[in-house]
Structure 1
Amino acid sequence: MPQRLDYLKETPSQTAGPYVHIGLAPGAAGFEIYKSELGWDIAGPNAKGERIRVEGIVIDGTGSPVKDVLLEAWQANAAGVYAHPDATGEVEDGFRGWGRVITNFETGEWGFDTIKPGPAMGRNGQVQAPHINLWVVARGINVGLNTRLYFSDEAEANATDPVINTIEWERRRATLIAQRSDDGDVPVYRFDIRLQGEGETVFFDI
């Protein structure tokens, strides 16, 4: 006889931490467990396209940096193709397109090196502006937060992007735009993530 499950209650959730770094990025936490850690090489050394640096900080509702954050990034290559078996287009050999970084324990800064993604095909044949998908996990967050990073020098593409245009208010859209700086050897895009309060970053329910 099948077991009745309608009387069971939902299992309580817990936040990620304080040992999220040890489990997901042990090397950064001082534990040399693996020869190489999963997720540090996003684009690969031979990936085509413009090399860029993405940097930022995660800020809580009081305006203070959050220093125990883990971020995962997922992006298309310079031709707008994801490293996925069902991708539309030819998958670039050696391009991973996924990465994992943590914040600096002292400053809260995070960053990663990659290549700038190209416009990618979305649902219903709609072209999406170049972007990087980000998933944010930290102590105090019950469910990981999903957001997107768009590029300030892609204003024309951003204006027609089907996802960013679901956001009604222009000032809310602005929280998804990384600002480009060309002061160093490679372009740097600054993308600060605000979890709460004034200027809160747009997060998506996916």
Structure 2
Amino acid sequence: MIDTGKNGEFRYEQSDIVDQDGAEFGITPSQTVGPYVHIGLTLDNSEHLVEPGTEGAVNFTVSITDGNGDPIADAMFELWQANPEGVHNSDLDPNREEPATADGFRGLGRAMANANGEATFTTLVPGAFDDEAPHFKVGVFARGILERLYTRAYLPDVDLSTDPVLAVVPEERRELLVATKTDGGFRFDIKVQSDTDETPFFGL
């Protein structure tokens, strides 16, 4: 599974090359984001899409576990979403009437998982965007993952029957993309490497 807290033997032979001129010419293998995913990517308060205490603010907690059920403690989450009116903080959104701004609701957040594989965002409840049901877009980076994993967390207790993105997911797996309610907002549990209840991910 994901080598969180690795402390044993390396699975591959270690090279004794200390200078690039000593390496043979050839195609290098794909690289994972390694244990360095946090370096240069963390900003203070980037988990707050709105300031705590903002009217209508809710918590959105994300967790991630591997195929053994162990938390992936060094994962990084990204969150994108529309505002309560269903408009994204991006000039690319055709529904936006004013230029995007860093003030107020930012629409994009980033948070690092704690030892339990969890992170909590402060945000607003998203509205429906065009014909898509209200949802959070969630990206996952972690050691051992070659490319960002991209998924969605739909709001509970809303009509999902006409959402065009959810429609491509097998019906019996759609409930895995629905967040649960908590006292302060919502929670979404992501599972990877599972044969039975792995979270559906999307190719972009």
Please tell me the residue identity of whatever aligns with 1:90: E
Q: Could you say if the C-alpha distance between residues 72 and 10 of structure 1 is closer, same or farther in structure 2, counting changes exceeding 3 Å?
A: farther
Question: Alpha-carbon deviations, 1:61-116, whole Å to 9, x = none?
Answer: 11111100001111111100011112213357632100100101x22221111000
Matched residues, number: 175
Structure 1 unaligned spans of 5+: 1-8, 26-35, 122-126
The reply on whether 1:134 has 2:135 as its aligned counterpart is no
CA distance in 2 between partners of 1:59 and 1:135 (Å):
14
Equivalent residue number for residue 202 of structure 1:
200
Equivalent residue number for residue 32 of structure 1:
none
1:81–1:90 CA contact under 8 A, matched in 2: no
Give identity over the alignment, percent. Answer: 41
CA distance in 1 between partners of 2:27 and 2:126 (Å):
40
Please tell me the residue identity of whatever aligns with 1:24: L
Please tell me the residue identity of whatever aligns with 2:141: V
Displacement after TM superposition at 1:10 (Å): 5.9
Aligned partner of residue 174 in structure 1, secondary structure: helix
Displacement after TM superposition at 1:46 (Å): 9.2
Structure 2 unaligned spans of 5+: 1-25
Aligned partner of residue 128 in structure 1, secondary structure: coil
Aligned partner of residue 136 in structure 1, secondary structure: strand
Please tell me the residue identity of whatever aligns with 1:165: A
Equivalent residue number for residue 107 of structure 1:
116
The reply on whether 1:39 has 2:46 as its aligned counterpart is yes
Taking structure 1 as the reference length, the TM-score comes to: 0.77
Equivalent residue number for residue 168 of structure 2:
166
Displacement after TM superposition at 1:40 (Å): 3.1
The reply on whether 1:14 has 2:31 as its aligned counterpart is yes
Please tell me the residue identity of whatever aligns with 2:107: G
The reply on whether 1:23 has 2:40 as its aligned counterpart is yes
2:49–2:109 CA contact under 8 A, matched in 1: yes
Aligned partner of residue 167 in structure 2, secondary structure: helix
